[in-house]
Amino acid sequence: MSTRLAQGGRLIDRSKPKNFTFNGKRMKGYEGDTLAAALLGENQMLVGRSFKYHRPRGIVASGAEEPNALVNMGQGGRFEPNQRVTTTELFDGLTCTSQNHWPSLEFDVGVVNNYAARFLPAGFYYKTFMAPAAAWKHVFEPIVRQSAGLGKVPTEADVDRYEHFYYHTDVVVIGGGVAGLAAALAAGRSGAKVLVMEQTHHWGGRAPVDGGEIDGQSVEDWIAATLAELEGMENVTLRTRMMGSGVYDHGYVLGYERVADHTPGDGRPRHRLWRIRTKQIVTATGAIERPLSFAGNDIPGVMLASAVRDYVVNWGVSIGDRTVVVTNNDDAYRTALALKEAGLEVPVILDARDEATGPLAEAARDAGIRVEPGRAIAKVNGGKRVTGVSICLQAGEGAALEEIPCDAVAMSGGWSPVVHLWSHCGGKLIWDEAQAHFRPDPDRAPTGHDGEAFVVTAGAASGAMSLADTLENAYEAGKTAAKAAGGKAVRKAGPKAEAEEAQPMAPVWIMPQGAGPQKRMKMWLDYQNDVKVSDVQLAAREGYESVEHTKRYTTLGMATDQGKLSNINGLAVLSDALGQPIPATGTTTFRPPYTPISFGAIAGEARHEIFQPIRRTPMHQWHEEAGAYMEPVGHWRRPYCYAKPGETNEQAVHREVLNTRERLGLLDASTLGKLIVKGPDAGKFMDMMYTNMMSTLAVGKCRYGLMCTENGFLSDDGVVARIDEDTWLCHTTSGGADRIHAWMEEWLQTEWWDWKVYVANVTEQFAQVAVVGPNARKLLEKLGGMNVSKETLPFMQWADGKIGDFDARVYRISFSGELSYEIAVPASQGRAFWDTLLEAGEELGVMPYGTECLHIMRAEKGFIMIGDETDGTVIPQDLGLNWAISKKKEDFLGKRAQLRSHMTDPARWKLVGLETLDGSVLPDGAYAVGEGDNVHGQRNMIGRVTSTYYSPTLKKGIAMGLIKHGPDRMGEVVDFPTVDGSNTVIKARICDPVFYDKDGEKQNV
């Protein structure tokens, strides 16, 4: 069993106990514990079930590489799944539960998958697609859905807050181990501005666990002295609990600071995302130990040798009383010695190398530990916990030589430098034959804007595996980065350690090397995704030669750990199966973040009302006070309708329509885009932007215009007014003003830059009100001022003048089919103007109306709406708008495209009106079906509904739609099958899209 030892634990404070619960069970740890250390201290080795086979899984590692020990953390608004216990600091009141099992962690029904493992091979998911379709629907999909996903989805909104922080510096050092500190020392001494980040809450990394001396001091004393020196430098900033999450183009770094994960609810932001710009980056990210692949290497109690050592030295926790050490390198001997020193038993060290001759092996022998070279683990015995190991020859096929009872296994397959951050932005790797790992190639570093390297690695992250090499490499890295960032030359010598003698490691990818299929099916490569040696070998046999394909086929190295622990083991097995050297196989792509970061940190402050800026018209407050139901239109909020007490929104909309048609309505049209196009070449430019001829528009007149993309598709529409000889005012859609402004700028700046034209967006400079209905003129005449009679200001003209006391520009344009004046006043006068219109209009029956009323009235008139009748694939010709396309102009944007064969195809769907035979309202977006089936056995489509409403004016459903050969089929009836499950068909007759006042008499009075 694992337990808390009576003594030891350099990181814990035994005077400060912390209480927590796991699966509802009360447990105790100490300040300084990780949740992993505390769980192990309470003998909670089993922490979860594996993803696919639901095998019992325990803690394997002590850091960010942990694949198994993921828990549901917290409750309610602080619930979060998939939290790694090895990187979670213990705090009082922490609650967590294990994941991926039912009904309980101890007894899990899903474990039947384990016995069916041979029916769930690599690529199982993809292979299900080769079965008949019915099997997928009735057999595979229910199974796959049931077992998909880790953890539980939170059900409540996150109660914590998060923030972003912007930071500029010269050098960022990522990693606060001895390498990071040595690099920071060099960079700090150069005078450069330095930021050092360490992902845990303590400095020094794992060097204090390994021991040794630096500059004649113990490692711990050197760390303390170095920290004191760095803290004394004004140019150095030190941050713990902050992970280097990603390295991006041109020196951009994301730092993920877990400010208050260990003090939830204390008012501080939970996470802070540092968005850093730096000249140089030093990655001192250390190395991660690899597991060994032997049968049963996933049974709880099998752990990385370095992790076993960490738990004993850092937290005073023993994983077992009797620990078998199995290794292919010298480092694991340190674990054996540490266990021995803590008074624990190490029955044997199995060294896969033919001989064990290094000084550490000698020290182990001197300590009385049995050392067995050339030996391997044939299999681990046990279910939910290790009970013993069978020993065999590494060179053989696994015949057991001896059974050794034990309750823990410490394994070491060598060390892989953490190259993620180096690789994020293009740093390349080389294969180091002696260490059997990929390490950064200093000659192929990530390059910045000047083509020069901007990332340098330090210490174990460079592949320097001894303390002496680490310090030398890291101090040099700090100097290199500081110099490149413009720091002074550093003359002061760096820290030194004694060189140690070491016996070379031997690569061991399978243990024993001749293991048969039975054993290979129990050798886990990727613990989180349940990928075994046999799965990778199967993938290779089935033709998956690219490592990227094998990854996706087997899921090797996917999910939350992204193969930190054992990807190299998988690559080695794949290389062996393909008969090629490991560097020829290569690695999968390393992508940010290094470990998962919270969505909250990514979102930062951008939540709720400040998620996005809201644009408000000058009358916005009036609408809100009137209780308007608002809807988003671009960044605007516009009134959808103004429901009165006791009225539904639908009733309100219908009232607004009828009142506007019979009396008088007011619409806040301020959101309508208003662009001024001005200059000697403005007419020429307008003719290019619009499909219509705009250069010939007379001063004082208005014209409805269409804009297309170079693809010929309709992009925006609106009424253009000729203001003077050099000036046009273009109305755009409410959501389109900024886009169309940018579109005009793009053409003026990049294609016709010699044309003398300026464009200004004056949308927010004016408040605009549509005064609509038979009483519209009476209202304006009551207010007095300019002449708004039919004779002086006829339809489709505009004039400047006064309405009452207000300076106004009045357009006689109509989107409703009624007598209508759109009146622009200075934005500052908008609210006063609106109030004046409402007050004076009272006796004329005035009511404000919203966007839905506007939509219905325009549909009754057969006017198109960008975004309803258009969707980026519709050309003006489809909508019967040929009258708005100039035939005289040589060129306009979209003209050439509209001549392409597909655009002139007579079979294109074209706009028509639709009236249901029973007067009902067609569903929005409903498809019309024709004769016959397509290749998928579905009915052939011949059109679709683009706008559909109940018309209060006509007291029946009206719709517009695009129908194949539509205009040639007037009076014919087409079928619209419903999709609501009723299996009914709605029949509608094709008709003219103008349902109301076909001759346009009402707007022209």
Partner 1 sequence: MLILECPYCGVMADETDLHGGGEAHLKRFGPGSSDDDFETYLFHRKNPKGVHFERWRHVSGCGKWFHAARNTMTLEVYGTYSAQTTEPPKAIVNAVKKKHPEWEGWT
Positions touching partner 1 (CB under 8 A) are 248-252, 277, 425-426, 446-451, 710-711, 742, 745-746, 749-751, 753, 890-891, 895-897, 899-900
The residue among 946, 942, 926 whose CA lies nearest residue 934 is 942
Is 278 or 390 the residue whose CB approaches partner 1 more closely?
278
Q: Kindly state the smallest distance separating residue 248's Cβ from partner 1, in Å.
A: 5
Can you tell me the distance from the alpha carbon of 176 to that of 168, in angstroms, rounded to the nearest whole number?
A: 20
- Taking the least distance from each CB to partner 1, the nearer of 262 and 684 is 684
Q: Which is nearer to partner 1, 159 or 899 (CB)?
A: 899
Which residues face 155 on adjacent strands?
none
> Residue 869's closest CA among 715, 667, 671?
715
Nearer to partner 1, 150 or 897 (CB): 897
CB of 725 to partner 1, least distance (A): 27
Q: Is 500 exposed, middle or buried (0-12, 13-18, 19+ CB in 10 A)?
A: middle
Peptide bond into 593 cis (omega under 30): yes
| Residue reference for tokens 């086929």 | 553
Tokens of 616: 């408000």
Minimum CB distance to partner 1 smaller for 144 or for 742: 742
Q: What is the CA 761 to chain-centroid distance, rounded?
A: 34
Indicate the residue among 86 and 245 with the shorter CB distance to partner 1. Answer: 245
State in angstroms the smallest separation of the CB of 281 from partner 1. Answer: 14
- Taking the complex as a whole, the smallest distance from the CB of residue 879 to partner 1 amounts, in Å, to 21
DSSP 428: -
Give CA separation, 177 vs 196, 317, 517, 979, in Å. 10, 22, 42, 62
- Closest distance to partner 1 from the beta carbon of 938 (Å): 29
- Examine residue 848 and say whether the peptide bond preceding it is cis (omega within 30 degrees of 0): no
Coil, strand, or helix at residue 380?
A: strand
Smaller CB separation from partner 1, 710 or 933: 710
Q: How many other C-beta atoms are found inside a 10 Å radius of the C-beta of residue 220?
A: 14
Least separation in angstroms between residue 266's CB and partner 1 is 32
Shorter beta-carbon distance to partner 1: residue 205 or 894: 894
H or E element at residue 432 = strand 429-432
Integer Cα distance of 709 and 222 in angstroms: 67
Q: Which is nearer to partner 1, 443 or 890 (CB)?
A: 890
By beta-carbon proximity to partner 1, the closer residue of 279 and 637 is 279
Side-chain-side CA neighbours of residue 454 (13 Å) = 23
Least separation in angstroms between residue 613's CB and partner 1 is: 13
Closer CB to partner 1, 405 or 426, in the complex: 426
Residue 636 C-beta: closest distance to partner 1, Å? 20
Q: How far apart are CA 248 and CA 284, in angstroms?
A: 17
By C-beta, is 626 or 903 nearer to partner 1?
A: 903
User: Quick one: 314 exposed, middle or buried, by C-beta within 10 A (0-12, 13-18, 19+)?
Assistant: buried
Say how far apart CA 400 and CA 314 lie, in whole Å: 35
Q: How far is CA 601 from CA 78, 237, 718, in A?
A: 14, 21, 42
User: Which CB atom, from 32 or from 735, has the smaller least distance to partner 1?
Assistant: 735
Question: By the 8 A CB rule, do 264 and 95 touch?
Answer: no
| Smallest separation (angstroms) from partner 1 to the CB of 589 | 15
- Residue type, position 310, single letter: D
Helix axes 649-662, 851-860, angle to 10 degrees: 60
Phi, psi (rounded to 5 degrees) for 717: -145, 170
Report the interhelical angle of 533-541 vs 547-554 (nearest 10°): 120
Distance of closest approach, residue 552 Cβ to partner 1, in angstroms: 23
**Peptide linkage before 121 cis (omega within 30 of 0):** no
Closest CA to 446 of 462, 477, 463, 422: 422
Q: What is the distance between the alpha carbons of residues 785 and 617, in angstroms, rounded to a whole number?
A: 25
Contact 310, 10 (CB under 8 A): no
> How far is it, in rounded angstroms, from Cα 322 to Cα 308?
12
Q: In this structure, which amino acid lies at residue 56?
A: P
Shortest CB 687 distance to partner 1, Å: 13
**Cβ(210)–Cβ(503) under 8 Å?**
no
Residue 53 or 594 having the CB closest to partner 1: 594
Rounded least distance, CB 399 to partner 1, Å:
53
User: In the bound complex, what is the minimum distance in angstroms from residue 755's beta carbon to partner 1?
Assistant: 11
Which residue, 583, 547, 650, is CA-closest to 432?
583
Q: Which two three-digit tokens encode residue 273?
A: 């995302």
**Which tokens go with 625?**
């006070």
Nearer to partner 1, 832 or 903 (CB): 903
Minimum separation from the CB atom of position 269 to partner 1 (A): 22
- Distance (Å, rounded) from C-alpha 477 to C-alpha 424? 19
Distance CA 526, CA 561 (A): 9
- Nearer of residues 635 and 895 to partner 1, judged by Cβ: 895
Q: What is the separation of C-alpha 667 from the centre of its chain, rounded to a whole number of angstroms? A: 40
What is the nearest approach in angstroms of partner 1 to the Cβ of residue 608? 22
* Beta-carbon contacts of residue 75 (< 8 Å; ≥ 6 apart): 95
User: Which residue is associated with the tokens 């009235």?
Assistant: 857
The distance of closest approach from Cβ of residue 275 to partner 1 in the complex, given in angstroms and rounded to an integer, is 9
Comparison of 496 and 895: residue with beta carbon closer to partner 1: 895
What is the closest distance, in whole angstroms, from the C-beta atom of residue 256 to partner 1 in the complex? 16
Nearer to partner 1, 204 or 446 (CB): 446
Residue 76, burial from CB neighbour count under 10 angstroms (0-12, 13-18, 19+): exposed
Write down the least CB distance from residue 962 to partner 1, Å. Answer: 23
